[in-house]
C-alpha cells in the first residue's frame, strides 16, 4: 500500500494542479452559482415582501422615492427574496460582483409610469 500511495503521489507530479490559480485562471460559473441578486425594476411593484422576508436585512424599499436598494455586503445569497417576489422581478445571476473599493449599496429607481393615454 505504501507503493500505491507513492504511485499516486508520483502521478500527481505529472498531472495538472488540483487547485486553481485565481484570478489568473478565471472562475467558472455553473448555471446554479449564486452570484448576485438583480431586480428587473420595471416589473417591481415596490410591495416590500422581499424586504420583510430577507433573513439578512439586506434589502430596503422606499415607496415614496420609488427605490429598491440592496446592500450586497449583507446579502448572503440565500435566494429567499427571489422565491417570494410576487412579480418574479428578482433573479439570482451567476456572476460574482467585482471587487469593491468601498462599502456601498446599490439602489435602483423605478421609472415613473407614463400617464395612460386618454
Q: Determine the interface stretch with another protein among 31-39, 43-51, 61-69, 107-115 (rule: CB under 8 A).
A: 31-39
Enter the C-alpha cell of residue 7.
504511485
Residue 67 binding ligand SF4, by CB under 6 A = no
Q: How many angstroms separate the Cα of 68 from the Cα of each of 12, 34, 112? A: 50, 20, 14
Residue 91 binding another protein, by CB under 8 A = no
Residue 91 binding ligand SF4, by CB under 6 A = no
Report what 110 binds from another protein, ligand SF4, none; CB cut-off 5-8 Å by kind.
none
Neighbours of 76 (CB within 10 A): 11
Residue 80 binding another protein, by CB under 8 A = yes
Residue 1 binding another protein, by CB under 8 A = yes
Residue 72 binding another protein, by CB under 8 A = no
Residue 85 binding ligand SF4, by CB under 6 A = yes
Q: How many angstroms separate the Cα of 112 from the Cα of each of 41, 64, 109? A: 11, 11, 9
Q: Residue 108 in contact with residue 66, Cβ under 8 Å?
A: no
Enter the C-alpha cell of residue 87.
412579480
61/78 Cα distance (integer angstroms)? 19
- Positions in the binding site for another protein (CB under 8 A): 1-2, 4-5, 8-9, 12, 18, 30, 32-34, 53-55, 76-80, 83, 92, 94
Amino acid at each position: 500500500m505504501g507503493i500505491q500511495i507513492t504511485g499516486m503521489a508520483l502521478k500527481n507530479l505529472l498531472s495538472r494542479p488540483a487547485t486553481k490559480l485565481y484570478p489568473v485562471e478565471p472562475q467558472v460559473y455553473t448555471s446554479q452559482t449564486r452570484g448576485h441578486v438583480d431586480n428587473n425594476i420595471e416589473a417591481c411593484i415596490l410591495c416590500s415582501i422581499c424586504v420583510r422576508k430577507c433573513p439578512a436585512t439586506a434589502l430596503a424599499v422606499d415607496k415614496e422615492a420609488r427605490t429598491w436598494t440592496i446592500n450586497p455586503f449583507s446579502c448572503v445569497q440565500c435566494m429567499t427574496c427571489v422565491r417570494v417576489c410576487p412579480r418574479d422581478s428578482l433573479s439570482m445571476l451567476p456572476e460574482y460582483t467585482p471587487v469593491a473599493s468601498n462599502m456601498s449599496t446599490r439602489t435602483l429607481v423605478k421609472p415613473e409610469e407614463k400617464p395612460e393615454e386618454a
